[in-house]
Amino acid sequence: MKPELLDYLRAPITREPFSLESDSSEGGVWTGQLVTPSETYPIVRGIPRFLTADELKDQEQTQESFSYKWTRADSFYTESRDEIDDKTFDFMVETEPERYGFEDISEMRQHYESADSILEVGCGSGHYTSLYMTPDYRGKYVGVDLSAGIDIAKERHAGVKRADFVQANLFSLPLKEQAFDIVHCRGVMHHTPSTEAAFKSVSKFVKPGGEFIFLIYRKNGPVREFTDDLIREAIKDQPAGEAWEKLMQLTKFGKALSELNVEVDIPEDVDLLGIKAGKYDIQRLIYNHFVKAFWKSDWSDDESNIISFDWYHPQYVFRHTQEEIEGWCSEEGFEIESIDDRWVGFTVRARKLAA
C-alpha cells in the first residue's frame, strides 16, 4: 500500500479516516494495519483487506468462483504475470475501444490517462485494466475486487507508479465518496445479489462532473435466457473444479460446431426467438441464441473454457434492459453520453451532473 492511499480510504462502517499502524515500509510500500477507534483491518502482501465474514455472507460463492478463475495458470496472464500475451491483447482491442465510443486504443488510453484519479470496481486480475492503463499513467488508480484476483492485479500493475489495490465488497467500499474522476466497473454489478443496488452503491464514488463507465449484461433472446438459467442452476453449487470439467463439454461442443465451418442463411427475422434475418456461422448462431458454447480457434481448450466458466458458474449473473439502465442513471443524477449494446452487454459512459 502506498502512503497516499490513506487520503482516499474511509472506514466502511463509521466513514472515519484511518491511521496506519505500520510494521514496515519497504520501498515506499506500507504493511501493517489500518485503524480507527472502532475498526481495524489488516494490510496483507501490500493490499488492505476489508472482507469480514459478514461482508462475504451473500457472495461467498461469487468469491470462490472468481478466485478459481483468476488463479488458474491459463487465466489471461503470461508466466511473469506482468503483461498480457499478444493474442489476448488483440482479442480485447478488437472490440473494447469501440464499445466505449473510442476510435481506437490510443484514444481510449488518452482519455483515461487524462483523468487525475480512477477507481476500478471489480478489477479482477487486472487484465482488462491493461487496455486503458499503462505504466505511464501518472494519476491515482485504485483497483478493488472481492476475489483472489486482486493479488494478481497488483503484481500485473506493479509498474504503475500510483496504483493501489484493495480487497473489499462494492456494497461497502472503504473509500471517500465523490472522489474519483472516472469510476470504471466492467462486467461486475450484475454478479451481485442486486445490480440496481450495486449501481447505486458504486456510482456514489464519482466526482460531480466525473464519469461512470460500466458494462452490464443485456437480456438475450428467450431460448438463450432459458438455457443460461438452466445450466447455471445445475452447476453453481458444484465445486469450481467440477464445474470447470462439466463446462469443458460445452466448450468442446462449441469447438465441434465451429469446425463445421458452415454458414446458415436465415431468410427473415424469427421474432419468437429474437433472431434477425441474415447469414450466421452455425457456432455463432447457436452461441448467441441457444447456448453459450464458446470457442475461439486460436485459443486452447482451457482458454476458451474460461469464458464459459465465467458465464455459467458464478451464482449471480443478472441480465438487464436498456430501459432499466437508463432509469438507474437518471435516478442517480447521471447523463448518458454513450451506450453500446453489441456482444454481451450494454457498455455505458455516463456523466455525473453537478449537484
Ligand X SMILES: C[S@@+](CC[C@H](N)C(=O)[O-])C[C@H]1O[C@@H](n2cnc3c(N)ncnc32)[C@H](O)[C@@H]1O
By CB under 6 A, name the binding residues for ligand X.
Answer: 59, 62, 66, 122-124, 128, 144-147, 149, 169-171, 186-188, 191-192, 310
Q: Distance (Å, rounded) from C-alpha 62 to C-alpha 114? A: 33
Min CB(201)–ligand X separation in Å:
9
Nearest of 120, 96, 128 to residue 342 by alpha carbon = 96
- Burial of 185: CB neighbours in 10 Å, binned 0-12, 13-18, 19+: buried
Q: Which is nearer to ligand X, 285 or 348 (CB)?
A: 348
Task: Give the nearer residue to ligand X in terms of CB position, either 20 or 306.
Answer: 306
Angle 240-260/301-312 helices, nearest 10 degrees?
A: 120
Q: What is the DSSP letter of 320?
A: B
Cβ at position 169, least distance to ligand X in Å: 4
Closest by Cα among 37, 31, 26, 38 to 5 = 31
Cβ-contact 86, 170 below 8 angstroms: no
Taking the least distance from each CB to ligand X, the nearer of 191 and 320 is 191
State the minimum distance, in angstroms, from the CB of residue 9 to ligand X: 16
C-alpha dihedral, 140 to 143 to 144 to 145, nearest 10°: 180
Smallest distance from ligand X to CB 25, Å: 27
Shortest distance, position 147 Cβ to ligand X, whole Å: 4
Please, which residue, 18 or 100, has the CB nearer to ligand X?
A: 100
Q: With beta carbons less than 8 A apart as the criterion, state whether 1 and 43 touch.
A: yes
For residues 186 and 292, which CB has a smaller minimum distance to ligand X in the complex?
Answer: 186
Q: Which of 61, 77, 71 is nearest to 313 (CA)?
A: 61
- Distance of closest approach, residue 97 Cβ to ligand X, in angstroms: 14
Burial 288-304, CB ≥16 within 10 A → b, else e: bbbbbbbbeeebeeebb
Name which of 97 and 124 has its Cβ closer to ligand X: 124
Nearer to ligand X, 70 or 280 (CB): 70
Amino acid type, 196: E
Taking the complex as a whole, how short is the minimal distance between the CB of residue 183 and ligand X, in angstroms?
12
